[in-house]
Amino acid sequence: MLGHSKLSLLATTTLLLLAASETVTAQSVSDIVTPAFFDGIIGQADLSCAGKNFYSRDAFLTAVGSYPGFGTTGTSDDYKREIAAFFAHVTHETGHFCYIEEIDGASKDYCDETNTQYPCVSGKNYYGRGPIQISWNFNYGPAGVSIGFDGLGSPETVANDVIISFKTAFWYWMNNVHSIITSGQGFGATIRAINGAIECDGGNSAAVQARVGYYQDYCNQLGVAPGDNLTC
């Protein structure tokens, strides 16, 4: 049985290793997501865009520190492909970081009343917000629990706090997309994981091609082959 001093030392060492892991992750990703790369995306957004003064590379790097598996799984090429895929979807969803909230989102119903685990709160709307445009009560609820904000009672936090905003994107990505792109299933499978019901299988081929175009562009910028199975 470990003594109190050894337990304390073990706990301290564990915390230091976790902190070091987050630091290494942020540094590794920051080597790929350079200021020039990030600015090259957000720089295409019009000056009048709300997201222009909201999203930032610093906020992205701060948020990614809480998700040490992002952009650090597999080989260096895998790192780059995952990062290229993430930014391809973010670019498409937000218009090069122009939008914080979904256009006309408040007029749309994103409440799944059959989900009793994460019930909708009266007067609150769960339309798309943030880099990945997280939507629906069944996403806001668990995202809030994981990140540490009231996703059901205060979904607007995603549009007001840029760190939380990026964290919702990473939360969704790590739970639904990360294993797909890092296991070599191809970019097309990531489209299916994000908006497949609407865009895949001929649903909206223009949107699919737009996402693929961004992905190929970012892969080219990062110096990595995009791989196979690009569409869905």
Mean pLDDT of all residues in 167-195: 97
Which pLDDT value is given to residue 27? 45
- Is residue 102 within 8 Å of 127, Cβ to Cβ? yes
**pLDDT confidence band for 232 (50 / 70 / 90):** very high
Q: Is the pLDDT of residue 231 over 50?
A: yes
Residue 178 and residue 25: Cα distance in Å, rounded? 15
Mean pLDDT of all residues in 170-197: 97
End-to-end CA distance of the chain: 55
User: What residue ranges define each of the domains in the chain, with the CATH number in brackets?
Assistant: 23-99+162-222 (1.10.530.10)
Instruction: Provide the mean pLDDT of the chain.
Output: 91
**Using H for helix, E for strand and C for coil, what is the string for 162-213?**
HHHHHHHHHHHHHHHCHHHHHCCCCHHHHHHHHHHHHHCCCCCHHHHHHHHH
Q: Which pTM does this prediction carry?
A: 0.88
Which pLDDT value is given to residue 10? 37
Model pLDDT for residues 18-41, shown as the tens digit of each residue: 444 444 454 489 999 999 999 999
Which pLDDT value is given to residue 20? 40
**pLDDT confidence band for 11 (50 / 70 / 90):** very low
**Using H for helix, E for strand and C for coil, what is the string for 84-98?**
HHHHHHHHHHHCCCC
Mean pLDDT of all residues in 178-185: 96
166, 175, 158: which is closest to 64 by C-alpha? Answer: 166
Model pLDDT for residues 50-78, shown as the tens digit of each residue: 999 999 999 999 999 999 999 999 999 99
Angle at 84 between CA 131 and CA 29, to 5 degrees: 85
Catalytic amino acids? 93
Residue 15 vs residue 105, higher pLDDT: 105
